[in-house]
Amino acid sequence: MDARHSPFASDAELHRKLIESRRSIHGLERRAIHCPRCGYHIMDAYGHEHVVTIVKCQKCKFCEPLDLRLFRTIKGISYKPNK
């Protein structure tokens, strides 16, 4: 990767943010976000904070903002972390 085009000041900063992100999901419920148009799995999200993200489906090219509060895992198939 060309460091000049990286949004991070350094590899160390990127590494620190990745570690911090991994720690922040600890204990949170994982939910799958599917494309509202075709059902394709777009991403997994953690927690229930009010997060709006622009999603782009690789399958049907759906591209819209999704409020992640409104797109929760279907009851019964939610991820259960091993403890």
Structure tokens at 31: 């939910």
3-class state of residue 15 by DSSP:
helix
Is 11 within 8 Å of 19 (Cβ atoms)? Answer: no
Query: Which residues between 50 and 69 bind Zn ion (CB under 5 A)?
Result: 57, 59-60, 62
Nearer to Zn ion, 39 or 81 (CB): 39
Site mask, Zn ion, residues 2-41, x = CB under 5 A? ---------------------------------x-xx-x-
Min. distance of Cβ 36 from Zn ion in angstroms? Answer: 8
Helices assigned H by DSSP within 1-83: 11-24
| Nearer Cβ to Zn ion (31/42) | 42
Minimal distance in Å, beta carbon 39 to Zn ion?
7
| Sequence-separated (6 or more) residues with CB below 8 Å from residue 69 | 48, 50, 51
